Amino acid sequence: MAHLKKNTRGAVPGLAVHFERKTDHHSNKEIDVAKTYLNQDLISDGSDMLSRFNERLNDVYCMKRDDVKALATWIVTLPEELSKAPYEQQSAFFEATKQFLDDRYGQENAVAAVVHYDETTPHLHYAFVPVIFDAKKERYKVSAKQVLTRHDLQTFHDDLDQDLKKVLPFYEKGVLNNKTLPFENVAEIKKYNDQFKDLKGELANVEENISAKKTLLKITNQELDEIDLAEKQIDDFKQALSKNLFGKPVIKPDDLDRFKTVLANMKKAQLQSQRNAEQTSHELSKVKEQLADVKADHQKLKEAHQQLQD
């Protein structure tokens, strides 16, 4: 419903011609010159947009660069609910909107507030010099970046909506609609948000899977260490068998057979553990590759999600 544009000072003369209808030869074919008389200039001080702009720039500091955004313009379109309302109500809507913009950006910075009724949909062109006080240098300066912050843009429509509802008794539904959003419709935003939510869930599952694989691998390696220790103990046992006491073995042969069986079982367990470890390590590598892909997709969608939020 409302659209902002930041303009260089070089664009101001052309904007002034369009806003104030200073020519009869319009490139915009939607302009119906037979209705131009209905247009309203809400700043009636006897001067024009270009004069006000130059005068305001003389009062404040502005960098002498061609790319400086010295003028900001809001286009506020009449809501559909008021499209068939009486002219008086439509005019009251634009006057209240102009007052809201004056309060938000400073009436002294406004250089144009023109309502066009001679195009397809009535709308207000509000132009102002984005001025802020520079406390460090104790002067007012032009800074679109500091005036039109992300927070200002994020809260603009809702603030305007609430303000108009307070001052206009006939205004109920509000200015917020699908056109306020940077996408064609709400369904598209829902689709992106759903994808974002699903991908976050998938990312959590992959990370949990990796954690489980690492835990299993740690247990498997621990089992291998225990087997290595058992083998060392059996080696020590075999060395003990070679020791005789008065020509007799210290340990009986059946003890040796029993330990041989233990050793065989340990060897078997060791081979199985090694196979498990190799398989787990391979699966872990695959999962890590999957995680990298998911994280890349997640980052892309996260950036898109942030743009949607903005």
**Separation of alpha carbons 131 and 41, rounded Å:** 23
**What pLDDT shows up at residue 135?**
93
Segment 98-116 mean pLDDT: 96
Does residue 219 share a domain with residue 162? no
Does residue 27 share a domain with residue 153? yes
Q: End of a domain among 141, 161, 180?
A: 180
Lowest-confidence range among 53-62, 196-205, 289-298? 196-205
Q: End of a domain among 136, 157, 180?
A: 180
* Residue 43 scores a pLDDT above 80: yes
Does residue 207 share a domain with residue 174? no
For 132, the domain range is: 2-180
**Tokens standing for residue 198:** 């699903």
Bigger pLDDT: 211 or 44? 44
Lowest-confidence range among 17-31, 92-106, 120-134? 17-31
pLDDT, tens only, 241-254: 555 544 455 555 55
Does residue 162 share a domain with residue 125? yes
Segment 246-274 mean pLDDT: 60
| Contact between 19 and 94 (Cβ < 8 Å) | no
Tell me how many domains the chain contains. 2
| Contact between 294 and 203 (Cβ < 8 Å) | yes
Does residue 174 share a domain with residue 26? yes
Does residue 90 share a domain with residue 138? yes
Q: In a 10 Å sphere around its CB, with 0-12 CB exposed, 13-18 middle and 19+ buried, how is residue 309 labelled?
A: exposed
Q: For residue 198, is it left (φ>0), alpha (ψ between -120 and 50) or beta?
A: alpha
CATH number, domain of 112, equals 3.30.930.30
pTM of the model: 0.56
Segment 207-228 mean pLDDT: 65
Three state DSSP letters for the chain: CEEEEEEEHHHHHHHHHHHCCCCCCCCCCCCCHHHHHHCEECCCCCCCHHHHHHHHHHHCECCCCCCCEEEEEEEEECCHHHCCCCHHHHHHHHHHHHHHHHHHHCHHHEEEEEEECCCCCCEEEEEECCEEEECCCCEEEECHHHHCCHHHHHHHHHHHHHHHHHHCCCCCCCCCCHHHCCCCCHHHHHHHHHHHHHHHHHHHHHHHHHHHHHHHHHHHHHHHHHHHHHHHHHHHHHHHHCCEECCEECCCHHHHHHHHHHHHHHHHHHHHHHHHHHHHHHHHHHHHHHHHHHHHHHHHHHHHHHHHHC
Q: End of a domain among 148, 180, 212?
A: 180
